[in-house]
Structure 1
């Protein structure tokens, strides 16, 4: 039987009457669409951990949308809280009833994706006695689809200590935070600020924050939250940020010996002010603001990273590259420190500028600086920055920096630094990541790089990675070492997959059948290789016909060969600068490749007659083009044109190509008609002349002229009559 302790607290008959390990406190408003998800996500904790659930009802049964009744099925206690625009007071109402050693709080518009890591933590006594605060992740969604979100680490689970309470009418937080911290990989979905209610919530937050600041103008946490709600995207937002930030920093300057928490919030205000000025490209003013307020702040490493990023932007846009470079290196130094001190990193981390402190940002900043140095060919500066970068474990972030560093190492003839980078990014088996091959290809394509010398440079790297083996074979091409290098490649069973696709062209050039390096590839792998080969040869289009011919000489026909040839010739023929002569030379080969490929994978009956509608449009097009070319060779022009038009009907992408052939035929036909008309005109004149000669009895003199007319106008009846008259007279 349910029972009510007093007018404000409802208690389940199964509620705990003694201490437990974990209290979960849930604020319930009117979130009927999400509360079920929330409570179900908590069920494993309630069932598998010594715990209790305290629900704080902020709306009352009479105004509830049904959320309260749902919550009752899970709750141990429900406390009625008269809403007074004070989130800390609402949290404290739940905290007051807590019997747990630990306290976890959550809202009814949030739910855990899974709680396995929390279960592991609370079922391990060594862990939950060792730590005092647990952080988990939260995805704050910015759209209803859940595809855009900001991830933060939030300390919403804490060991209860005497005097602990929530502070802050809005964006409340614990009054005390105790080390050591533990971060678990559980995460919460939060849709609180998307949809129709988001604007109202933001307006409510601004109102509560401003009211709090009237009561306590030196509350830096409230100032920071106010500015975070504005953003800096629009002129109006930036105007508000600048106005409120200046007021807040004036208040901060008057605080005697501000503690670390106040310092952190003051830095947030300072950073928002800089961001607003940077968004307006007011570089000089931003630098003045930095110089004015930075001495007032005692920055920790996390904040140094944020400020390094902002200062770099100011200096690089002020054309002060040397000073900008210092801040990139300082960022790297501070980030290194944070990665070595994980607990301190967790303590210092701020959800306001989380994306500003990450490997992505570190390598993004570095790439931006290196691009500037590359333009000025400051190769030694590039290498100096490269020496400081944390390459190990950063493979997914190095796509911009690695090619520049590779180029700098080549120009400076510094193989050592590239060797060190390779050792850091290679896996345990010594295999280099795909990005290494992509970077090598990018450098080879640079107009200022001698490709042969660069290949020789890369080939010297101490690595047995397949990509390096290929570079060594390329370097040995047309030398006595080539056979040995190729033997090593074959022994290593290197496949022609990306980024090893260079191997294919190497094999073809040296008249080596590529089958052993291709036959085991999956369709997806081979398609990626084909696409890459086509991309490479698209940049040297004129070489495609000769390369295709070499392939046909070395490699026997098969579906993979025909697919590659079809793709290469498609790229060649469908190029915007193709000439009509080039179309006529290669169109037949292309059509043969299309049909040959189709014959290896489709039933013969699908390719006959009008062709099956089940076939891809390019296949149907190729079939009719092949037929058209056969008709042209047989001098059946009408059928040739009909087949071309039929092929175009199935494959509109070929419109420009086929219409050029049709136009050429029309122009040729038109010219012939003009020639025929001119011949007829001349013939008429000669006929009159011959007739007059015959009338004068000059039959012998007329005979050669009649023969010329017969040759000029074959089948002409009037010429035949003249011939009869001529010989009758004779």
Structure 2
């Protein structure tokens, strides 16, 4: 009988995580010939009872502030070919890869193995960093743990296997970074400082102390120990993983203090040292690119984008070197995750430097085929394109030279073909994008279609009503009102097969016109009638007649109820029954305050008719005016200055002697108008 794997678990009284830890080990115990050894440092009987459900090997240990001694107790009892160790606040996400490593016999080809420890920095699990940890090795008589804190297995021989399996670890997570009580840092720091006092020239202890200070945001102390650790590490013949960590983190920690010039200087000095290997160089380039961006040193930043690219290419061609050059949270995989963001910064740098040749080159470096890496950067790429309109043709031409199936690039090629007058080519590319539209770019595809009268069917047929409503609302809000009606006239024929979508766009456009424009006296009634007809047509298609007959009873959406009331008001208005019209308009404003400007414009038409016929303005007219004034107050409270301006303009004509209205109008103008800066 042969035990493949001994699993040693160090257990205190952390019941909140122990259950998850043990449950994650169950597949290993079930699928492999393995044993679980629990070294128990706690006092809680409940913890013991839970452990005994999983193993009979529970070894009591009195805690003595020495992790190696505690680990060696479990190691002494191990009988497996291989040994694995972990803590009770860690649990595996999935152990399938580890099980296959042993079941397949692959483990016989290696001396040790790494898996990933995912260290969370907050209790919500949103911020974390991954670190490769060597927690598995072949068990030999010489195997032992060293160091009382941040203990290591020794000896740790090659060849080693890197596994993608990972454990969740919340040991460093907390809500209040200033409160160190009951945290690992409060436990670790005194032990580490004591170790350094015994061995004052230990670069590894300096690194571990710097890590603890970094985790609690004490960057000045972390920087101090980084410098001290590097001083000692440089005197050693070999380059160890702690020196790699210190090189990478020193300029990064300096940048956290806000001293970007010093961070840049420090990173540049480290970069030229012969002891700085390729993974560290790539990390330093990432820090240098960020510093150059913030310091607006674009040409220098472009230099380090290129150097980063060079180092990443070297590491990909030399995977053995990449595998050897790693430390806690410092790996080839981690620094390669910065590839796309670094190259996008390079696009900004090269554009600022006027180096269009580099623009095309860097575009070709981006990982276009890896959607998970490139898609988060689409907004940044759009920002780059829009920031430099003077060279937009050159930017689009750069995209046009790329050989990739990426849909975002396809969209840029479509725009380039349109600008070059190659309409058929633009249509072909547009159709490809429309059939599998990149998220967030449906709107631009619609604009292209409207400009060139392309059929919208391939795109709109795949759009949900929610996405279409979002588009129509944004279109009505952001387009200039002078071009909005022209745009609607162009897009409406393209929506022939989608009447609901066409009416939704029509309603949004009419709302914009009615709530933001000082229209000619005849237009408010005409546009309101068109608006109500469109809204009520939708209502008739969606609701039963008995529902529409009593809208208040069935609590229809406010837009529909508003349209029903205004339709009745317009009938009276067209008959010349102004007195009967006003109470209905009063009720309509209460139902749908958003359209108060439209009602105000209709009131202005009523006022003109009353003055022309020398009739007395009824009291209801003034009541409605005051009600619209309250709507204006609400808009100002919400800082909706553009919409508030439209309401105030109507109220000035409606209540010309109301000083409160005049005062509000001035306040709206003050807040809604950007300051004019003059060069004296």
Residue aligning to 1:381:
358
Change (3 A) 1:354 1:586: farther
Change (3 A) 1:188 1:571: farther
Note if contact 1:494-1:517 (Cα within 8 Å) is conserved in structure 2.
Answer: no
Change (3 A) 1:674 1:345: farther
Once the two structures are superposed, the pairs formed by residues 343-358 of structure 1 within 5 Å of their partners are 344-352=321-329, 357-358=334-335
**Aligned mates of 1:508, 1:289 — CA distance in 2:** 54
Change (3 A) 1:629 1:273: same
Matched, 1:548 2:498: no
**Aligned mates of 1:339, 1:64 — CA distance in 2:** 50
Residue aligning to 1:219:
202
The Cα of 1:307 is off from its aligned counterpart by 0.8
Residue aligning to 1:642:
583
Q: Which structure's relative contact order is higher, taking Cα pairs within 8 Å and 6+ residues apart? A: 2
Once the two structures are superposed, the pairs formed by residues 427-576 of structure 1 within 5 Å of their partners are 432-433=406-407, 435-436=408-409, 454=419, 456=421, 465-467=429-431, 499=441, 517=458, 520-521=461-462, 524=464, 526-529=465-468, 531-532=470-471, 535=474, 538-550=478-490, 555=496, 558-574=499-515
Note if contact 1:134-1:158 (Cα within 8 Å) is conserved in structure 2.
Answer: yes
Residue aligning to 1:710:
none
Residue aligning to 1:609:
550
**Aligned mates of 1:147, 1:384 — CA distance in 2:** 35
Once the two structures are superposed, the pairs formed by residues 700-719 of structure 1 within 5 Å of their partners are none
**Most deviating of 137-146 and 109-118:** 137-146
**Aligned mates of 2:264, 2:104 — CA distance in 1:** 51
Residue aligning to 2:243:
266
Once the two structures are superposed, the pairs formed by residues 397-436 of structure 1 within 5 Å of their partners are 397-399=376-378, 402-403=381-382, 404=384, 411-412=393-394, 415=397, 418-419=399-400, 421=402, 423-424=403-404, 426=405, 432-433=406-407, 435-436=408-409
The Cα of 1:107 is off from its aligned counterpart by 1.2
Change (3 A) 1:630 1:506: farther
Matched, 1:72 2:52: yes
- Out of 88, 93, 96, the position equivalent to 1:116 is 96
Change (3 A) 1:629 1:57: same
Note if contact 2:12-2:40 (Cα within 8 Å) is conserved in structure 1.
Answer: yes
Residue aligning to 1:4:
none
Matched, 1:210 2:193: yes
- Out of 126, 131, 135, the position equivalent to 2:114 is 135
Residue aligning to 1:189:
168
**Most deviating of 221-230 and 388-397:** 388-397
The Cα of 1:414 is off from its aligned counterpart by 8.5
Matched, 1:660 2:600: yes
The Cα of 1:355 is off from its aligned counterpart by 11
The Cα of 1:189 is off from its aligned counterpart by 2.2
Change (3 A) 1:640 1:377: farther
Q: Secondary structure of 2:15's partner?
A: coil
Residue aligning to 1:88:
68
Residue aligning to 1:5:
none
Note if contact 1:136-1:185 (Cα within 8 Å) is conserved in structure 2.
Answer: yes
Note if contact 1:363-1:397 (Cα within 8 Å) is conserved in structure 2.
Answer: no
Change (3 A) 1:150 1:586: farther
**Aligned mates of 2:543, 2:491 — CA distance in 1:** 24
**Aligned mates of 2:268, 2:232 — CA distance in 1:** 18
- Which has the greater radius of gyration? 1
**Aligned mates of 1:25, 1:37 — CA distance in 2:** 16
Residue aligning to 1:229:
212
Residue aligning to 2:128:
149
Question: CA-to-partner distance for each residue in 1:663-683, whole Å, 9 max, x for gaps?
Answer: 636865885798869xxxxxx
The Cα of 1:356 is off from its aligned counterpart by 9.7
**Aligned mates of 1:378, 1:500 — CA distance in 2:** 32
The Cα of 1:226 is off from its aligned counterpart by 1.3
Note if contact 1:46-1:52 (Cα within 8 Å) is conserved in structure 2.
Answer: yes
**Aligned mates of 1:89, 1:77 — CA distance in 2:** 18
Question: CA-to-partner distance for each residue in 1:330-357, whole Å, 9 max, x for gaps?
Answer: 1122223334555554443444456994
The unaligned stretches of length 5 or more in structure 1 are 1-17, 427-431, 445-450, 471-492, 678-730
**Aligned mates of 1:323, 1:54 — CA distance in 2:** 55
The Cα of 1:310 is off from its aligned counterpart by 1.8
Residue aligning to 1:707:
none
Residue aligning to 1:699:
none
Q: Secondary structure of 1:588's partner?
A: helix
Change (3 A) 1:209 1:670: farther
Question: CA-to-partner distance for each residue in 1:127-151, whole Å, 9 max, x for gaps?
Answer: 2223343333333233333344333
Note if contact 2:518-2:601 (Cα within 8 Å) is conserved in structure 1.
Answer: no
The Cα of 1:210 is off from its aligned counterpart by 0.7
**Aligned mates of 1:360, 1:224 — CA distance in 2:** 24
Residue aligning to 2:6:
23
Residue aligning to 2:347:
370
Change (3 A) 1:276 1:553: closer
Note if contact 2:2-2:33 (Cα within 8 Å) is conserved in structure 1.
Answer: no
The unaligned stretches of length 5 or more in structure 2 are 618-680
Q: Secondary structure of 2:378's partner?
A: coil
The Cα of 1:583 is off from its aligned counterpart by 5.2
Note if contact 2:326-2:332 (Cα within 8 Å) is conserved in structure 1.
Answer: no
Q: How many residues align?
A: 604
Residue aligning to 1:58:
41
Change (3 A) 1:315 1:609: closer
Note if contact 2:244-2:327 (Cα within 8 Å) is conserved in structure 1.
Answer: no
**Aligned mates of 2:579, 2:330 — CA distance in 1:** 71
Change (3 A) 1:590 1:377: farther
**Aligned mates of 1:405, 1:178 — CA distance in 2:** 51
- Out of 537, 541, 547, the position equivalent to 1:600 is 541
Residue aligning to 2:636:
none
**Aligned mates of 1:178, 1:41 — CA distance in 2:** 27
The Cα of 1:28 is off from its aligned counterpart by 0.4
Q: CA RMSD in A?
A: 3.9
**Aligned mates of 1:579, 1:315 — CA distance in 2:** 49
Residue aligning to 1:629:
570
Note if contact 2:279-2:331 (Cα within 8 Å) is conserved in structure 1.
Answer: no
Change (3 A) 1:616 1:150: farther
Once the two structures are superposed, the pairs formed by residues 102-113 of structure 1 within 5 Å of their partners are 102-113=82-93
Once the two structures are superposed, the pairs formed by residues 236-247 of structure 1 within 5 Å of their partners are 237-247=218-228
Note if contact 2:114-2:134 (Cα within 8 Å) is conserved in structure 1.
Answer: yes
Residue aligning to 1:728:
none
TM-score (norm 1): 0.72
**Aligned mates of 2:280, 2:134 — CA distance in 1:** 19
Question: CA-to-partner distance for each residue in 1:511-543, whole Å, 9 max, x for gaps?
Answer: 8885x5478446x2x543453465456334322
**Most deviating of 138-147 and 497-506:** 497-506
